[in-house]
Amino acid sequence: MAAEAPEPLEVTVERLGLEGEGIATHQGRALFVAGALPGERVRVRPEPEGKVRRAALDAVLEPSPLRRDAPCPLADRCGGCDWMQLQPSAQVAAKERLVLEALERIGRLSLSPVRVLPTAASGTDTGTRRRAVLHWEGGALAYYGRRSHRPVPVEVCPALVPALAALPGRLTRALGSAGKRIRDVHLLAEGDAVSLGLSLEGPVRPPVREAAEALVREGLARGVMLVPPTGGAEELGRPVLEAPAPLRPDVRLRLRPDAFAQAHGSGTESLVSGALDLLAPATGDRALELFAGVGTFTFALAARVHSLVAVESSAPAVAQGSAAGRAAGVENVRWVQGDAERVARGLLREGATFDLLLADPPRTGAPGLAPLASGLGARRLVYVGCDAGSLARDAGRLVEAGFSLEALQLVDLFPNTHHVEALLGFRR
């Protein structure tokens, strides 16, 4: 016999949590409600209990004055943009509070000596994302619902830049029966140019290749990369796009749809500029960059230091970054392909030292960074983080290892979500 559904509850939301959910208190325990805003009286349906108590939002009984009509009809189902119902200025204020609270509570840091710089906002809350990953589910391209693999089919995505916004629905129809051989579709745009990466369920088969060739021929994409699970991507058309490197227009970054690139093209320059301001490089400095990607920070930093070692685990990213440097005549960057912490340990064993260290780890952070940064002698360190919890834990470790947190700046590259890029500036 199926268990009876729990009775709905009425609760008042007190604050927003690190994962973007509204938090209420029920029977002395925190209750997390996605889509709910502070101050709202809401009716919710409790979900099966786990480590964290969650409930699905059933109705907003007393809305917050900060609530707005979401600019996307899928906002209540899609897991991509969890704060679309919150006014943009309130989103920025909430992100600032969440990062500061995480540094104090999780990182156990005193922020009284820290210089908190104004947040660099994106300027618009839709049409900003130049890359996305959609999943082929049930005969259509879809995003996943929040904390689930429940597909949410999408025709148009207002979060994407204009060149990509209407592409999901068009690709669903264009791929047709070939879609069943595709696991994910990676979208990438630079200006009006579009590139696609098709992650396949198995080897490249003629139906998929023919469908991809048609996408290029019909102008839906400049190029397509076919990526089987065994590796060895096949290129059709011109899937590698070029973009000017932030603060280095003489260098053309090479972007692939199947490799990491910053999601917000126009806002990335603010991120790079802020990082260099905190790092304060000088012409005689030796610098180390960990998690370098295709060179988003690399070339702007290289122009201001004597030498730079750029470390990145992705072989395609290293290939694209080093090719971009060669084409522009950049001679003071040495690219190293490998796990960032493992390479740093190797440099430490060799007795290498660096004046500056820039780290831009993935959302999970870099737990082993602190002792390595200390051992490598870095005088200044800038940490770029997109998850408040991970960056707070890593910041606490860096302070324990002898660094002092001097400055913090947020760069809002992910409007309508709880995600934010944070720049932490440390001095040894």
Catalytic residues: 386
CA distance 35 to 84: 9
Q: Which residues lie below 8 Å from residue 152, measured CB to CB, with a gap of 6+?
A: 74, 77, 78, 79, 142, 143, 144, 145
> 225 phi and psi, to 5 degrees?
-110, 125
7: DSSP letter = P
377/401 Cα distance (integer angstroms): 11
- How far apart, in whole angstroms, are the C-alpha atoms of residue 17 and residue 34? 10
CB 424 within 8 A of CB 370: no
Find the helix or strand (DSSP H, E) in which 391 lies: helix 388-400
Task: Give which of 39, 92, 44 is closest to 67, Cα–Cα.
Answer: 39
User: Angle 397-400-401 (CA atoms, 0-180°, nearest 5)?
Assistant: 90
Closest to 391 in 3D by CA, of 341, 426, 415, 417: 426
| Strand pairing class (356-359; 286-290) | parallel
* Concatenated DSSP letters of 98-122: HHHHHHHHTS----TT-EEPPPB--
